[in-house]
Amino acid sequence: MPVQASALPEAVPASVLPVAGSDVSSRERYRGLLWLVAAAFFMQALDSTVVNTAVPAMAAALAVTPLGMRTALTSYVLTLAILIPASPWLCDRFGTRRVFGAAIVVFGVGSLLCGIAQTLPQLVAARVVQGVGGAALMPVGRYVLVRSIDKHEFVRAMSTVATFGLLGSVLGPLLGGAIVEFTSWRLIFLINVPVAIAGVWMNQRDMPDYRLDHANRFDLSGFLLFAAASALLLTASELAGGSPVPWSGMGLYTLAAVLLGALYVWHSRRTAHPVADLGLLRVRSVWVSLAGGIFTRLGISGMFLLLMLFLQIGCDWSPLMAGLMMVPQALGSITAKWVVHRALVHYGYRRLLIGNTLIVAVLLAMFAMLGPGSPVWLIATLTFCYGAFAGLQYTTMNTLIYVDVDIRHASMVSSMASTAQYLAMSFGIALSTLLMQALLQGHVHEDYVVAFRWTVLLLALITAAASRVFGRLRPDRAAPVSNAPPP
């Protein structure tokens, strides 16, 4: 979201107004705001990871196959991808306090609906509602911190907030496993309701209300074209899981998606403020980051859902034990953030991304060695290493997109990067589950083990292909520039 000098807050809570002559830092004045945004980041990160552990139990309760649950996962992520570009305009038009508060309410209502869903279609619809709220939480929260916290304190503030997001990623799988094993999977969603109620109260007390007097006209036509093309493409991928496969329907949906996508490209060149400015793709680092990120996420986004199915169904592990195996992955991702800057300074973007992409692909393929008799320490070690190098990959890709972009376009590329990230994640989850479903010959433990092994090998090949995209970078790419926001 652009930070404009004319965009002054219409109303700021008295509790966060600066005091004349006060030496209190902006982080101290906005302590309540930090807790609010951190709680939102924690809730969304927790919800994104807690569901994977519960997929087998949810599938049994809703009378579907575990792989058939992919729609409940992809619908949430796709909704995030579609709606994130609308967040900047909504804030400029209605104000950050109103938009953030509405997002919390919608997320809480969606969580409640998820918790009481009785069928898979009901759960999918509830996940869409949840995604509508979740789409505004992180972008608006980050924007408000940019506007409220002094520049010299922003990195520390953002690190505090990001830590809560990482904590949610660590606790999510473990909490999901414990809830499923000792209570009901429905509690996974219902625990968000009291958190949302507290968030609404904190939002009214601590959230500044930033908005523009005259917001730019929203590109509704472009937004609808992009949303329809994305939804049709995901629908086509869902049809691929049918038995028999409805090839004519798949082809029709795919053709319609391509036509709508082409129409959006034509439209974006003829509007002053498009949802996604495709002209920025002329910048090499932008298109390489987006294209490489899409290929990478197609290969690895569904990995931990597959691992949960492998451990719980193929190896007959308990949900709690399977969730515990995801903690090393999150710890590895946290560890990677400590070394990413040194690695970029030493190797540069091109060499680091080419080499690290291949390492991630190799680690992904190594999961094919696992079986029901694999020792716990081996799985934990492999998961930690995979999480560390995957985290390094994500952070590097997320900063690459900013290195050659003027600060005036930072908001647009940030929106495009978030949209591409979630879009690729939704299709990555769909692709991985479709591959495993195609390779699954039966539904006994051994069948899931064999299908898992072949699936991760194929996903490793897709991931390795991303290294060719990163090879299009110019040699000796510099380290991240200062206008790149914290990953």
Residue 209 β-bridge partners? 11
Answer yes or no: is pLDDT of 1 > 90.
no
Answer yes or no: is pLDDT of 9 > 60.
no
Between these two residues, 74 and 30, which has the higher pLDDT value? 74
Q: What percent of the chain stands above pLDDT 70?
A: 86
pLDDT of residue 487: 45
The one-character DSSP state at 240 is T
pLDDT of residue 5: 32
How many Cα atoms are found within 13 Å in the side-chain-facing hemisphere of 334?
16
pLDDT of residue 381: 95
pLDDT of residue 160: 72
Residue 9 β-bridge partners? 210
Answer yes or no: is pLDDT of 10 > 60.
no
Q: Among 3-7, 247-251, 405-409, which stretch is predicted with the lowest mean pLDDT?
A: 3-7
Rounded mean pLDDT, 24-45: 74
Cα–Cα distance between 486 and 392 in angstroms, integer? 14
- Collapse the DSSP code of 318 into the 3-class scheme (helix H, G, I; strand E, B; otherwise coil) and give the result: coil
Answer yes or no: is pLDDT of 136 > 80.
yes
Closest to 415 in 3D by CA, of 267, 150, 223: 223
Answer yes or no: is pLDDT of 390 > 70.
yes
- Collapse the DSSP code of 210 into the 3-class scheme (helix H, G, I; strand E, B; otherwise coil) and give the result: strand
Answer yes or no: is pLDDT of 25 > 60.
no
pLDDT class of 102 with cuts at 50, 70, 90: very high
Between these two residues, 239 and 264, which has the higher pLDDT value? 264
DSSP string of 346-405? HHHHHHHHHHHHHHHHHHHHHGGG--TT--HHHHHHHHHHHHHHHHHHHHHHHHHTTTTS
- Collapse the DSSP code of 9 into the 3-class scheme (helix H, G, I; strand E, B; otherwise coil) and give the result: strand
pLDDT of residue 22: 42
pLDDT of residue 14: 35
Provide the residue type at 163 as one letter.
Answer: T
- Helical spans, DSSP H, in 149-302: 151-182, 187-190, 192-206, 220-239, 247-268, 284-300
Residues 6+ apart with CB under 8 A from 220: none
pLDDT of residue 2: 35
pLDDT of residue 155: 61
Between these two residues, 265 and 210, which has the higher pLDDT value? 265
DSSP string of 437-471? HHH---SSHHHHHHHHHHHHHHHHHHHHHHHHHHT
Q: What percent of the chain stands above pLDDT 90?
A: 22
Answer yes or no: is pLDDT of 17 > 90.
no
Q: pLDDT tens digits for 202-238?
A: 888 888 888 776 666 788 888 899 888 888 888 887 7
pLDDT class of 383 with cuts at 50, 70, 90: very high
Rounded mean pLDDT, 436-442: 82
The 8 Å CB, 24+ separation contacts for 363-369 are: 363/389, 364/299, 364/300, 364/303, 364/456, 364/459, 364/460, 364/463, 365/456, 365/457, 365/460, 367/303, 367/307, 367/452, 367/453, 367/456, 368/452, 368/453, 368/454, 368/456, 368/457
Residue 210 β-bridge partners? 9
Do 147 and 3 touch, CB atoms closer than 8 A? yes
The count of other CB atoms within 10 Å of the CB of residue 160 is 16
Do 232 and 257 touch, CB atoms closer than 8 A? yes
Answer yes or no: is pLDDT of 118 > 90.
yes
Answer yes or no: is pLDDT of 62 > 50.
yes
Residue 313 β-bridge partners? none
Between these two residues, 4 and 254, which has the higher pLDDT value? 254
Q: pLDDT tens digits for 399-413?
A: 788 777 776 776 777
- Collapse the DSSP code of 248 into the 3-class scheme (helix H, G, I; strand E, B; otherwise coil) and give the result: helix
Q: What is the mean pLDDT of the chain?
A: 81
Rounded mean pLDDT, 301-323: 88
Closest to 38 in 3D by CA, of 173, 197, 112, 145: 145
Between these two residues, 161 and 263, which has the higher pLDDT value? 263
Do 361 and 461 touch, CB atoms closer than 8 A? yes
pTM: 0.80
Cα–Cα distance between 212 and 119 in angstroms, integer? 43
Query: Hey, what are 239's tokens?
Result: 């049809």
Answer yes or no: is pLDDT of 129 > 90.
yes
Closest to 264 in 3D by CA, of 234, 218, 219, 294: 219
Rounded mean pLDDT, 157-165: 72
Cα–Cα distance between 84 and 316 in angstroms, integer? 38
Burial of residue 364 (number of CB atoms within 10 Å: 0-12, 13-18, 19+): buried
Answer yes or no: is pLDDT of 113 > 90.
yes
In degrees and rounded to multiples of 5, residue 11 shows phi and psi of -150, 130
Residues 6+ apart with CB under 8 A from 441: 447, 450, 451
Cα–Cα distance between 374 and 368 in angstroms, integer? 11
pLDDT of residue 27: 52
Query: Hey, what are 360's tokens?
Result: 């991630």
pLDDT of residue 401: 82
Cα–Cα distance between 358 and 465 in angstroms, integer? 9
pLDDT of residue 13: 38
Rounded mean pLDDT, 417-444: 84
Between these two residues, 107 and 42, which has the higher pLDDT value? 107
The one-character DSSP state at 478 is P
Answer yes or no: is pLDDT of 11 > 50.
no
Cα–Cα distance between 110 and 67 in angstroms, integer? 23
Considering 172-186, 277-291, 345-359, 463-477, the range whose residues carry the highest mean pLDDT is 345-359
Closest to 33 in 3D by CA, of 204, 159, 211: 204
